[in-house]
Amino acid sequence: MRTELRCVACFLPLTLIVTGLAACGGSGESTLHHRLGHCHRRSDHRSRRAHLPGDDAQGNPQVLQLLIGADGTLTPAGIAARTGATAVGITPSGTTAYLLSSCIDNLCDGQVAPSSIGSNGAFTQAATPTPTGRHENPVAIVFDSLAANAYMLVNLMGVDTDIGRMQPYAIGAEGVLTSHSSGALPITGTAVAESALGSDLYTLSGGPPEEVPVTAQIQHFVMAAGGLRAMAAMPVAGTPTAMALAVPH
């Protein structure tokens, strides 16, 4: 029987928090994405924080924030936002956060909302949220090194299974997202996670449920001025639920 420890403050699996913070070490931006949300460690060493979307003990939505000390010690730092989100992405500068939400209305539309990050870590909505479309659930979002473009992994909800795709956006004033002219790229199977390293972007997706044995896949893309360029894909046996890039500094 599987026993799962849970964080009382945010109701996210404790393993997600610990693994996420370990994966977010070092300088620069690094994220760990998970189906239930992800942890992000800011690149500003003067005020390093982890942001965890989820619910509090009473079931109210929030984005919890923790300060990360020089020795890695975590200290609760209050609530960054009292809003629902399935994941949070933060630009390399650490000044803008994007809150991803699924099924926000009766039509099950998703959305991504840009927020400015104050000196105390609090989120303030900076612009009108960008809808992802009906039955399109955002999974994760990453950015190029200049924060000129964003790449959001979404799932298109189907009757029997979800189909993933990568949606590129140009980032405008106040963090407003505009669909990139290059258009969306299909992802094989159900989108699970994505991570970026420099100009390289990797997506993790699960195979069709009717496939036996189930085979997941990691797809490699290169972020370029003209959009994403698809590279080789690698099959992965089993059903992985998260992906993190470990890079020495």
Residue 38 or 108, more confident:
108
Confidence of residue 238 (pLDDT cuts 50, 70, 90): confident
Which pLDDT value is given to residue 203? Answer: 92
Cα–Cα distance for residue pair 60/57, rounded to 1 Å: 7
Identity of the amino acid at 249: H
Q: What is the mean pLDDT of the chain?
A: 77
DSSP H or E run through 61? strand 61-68
Opening angle at CA 33, ends 115 and 218, nearest 5: 130
Is the pLDDT at 116 greater than 70? The verdict is yes
| Nearest one of 30, 53, 78, 82 to 249, comparing CA atoms | 30
For the chain, list the domains and their CATH numbers.
Answer: 14-243 (2.120.10.30)
| CA 220 remoteness from chain centre | 17
Out of 40-54, 128-142, 154-168, least confident range: 40-54
Sign, CA dihedral 9-24-67-38, equals: negative
Confidence of residue 151 (pLDDT cuts 50, 70, 90): very high
Tell me the per-residue pLDDT of 171-230, one tens digit each, with 9 for 90 and over: 988 889 988 877 788 887 888 898 888 889 999 988 665 566 667 889 999 988 777 888
- Sequence-distant (≥ 6) Cβ neighbours of residue 183 within 8 angstroms: 168, 227
Confidence of residue 80 (pLDDT cuts 50, 70, 90): very high
% of the chain exceeding 90 in pLDDT: 29
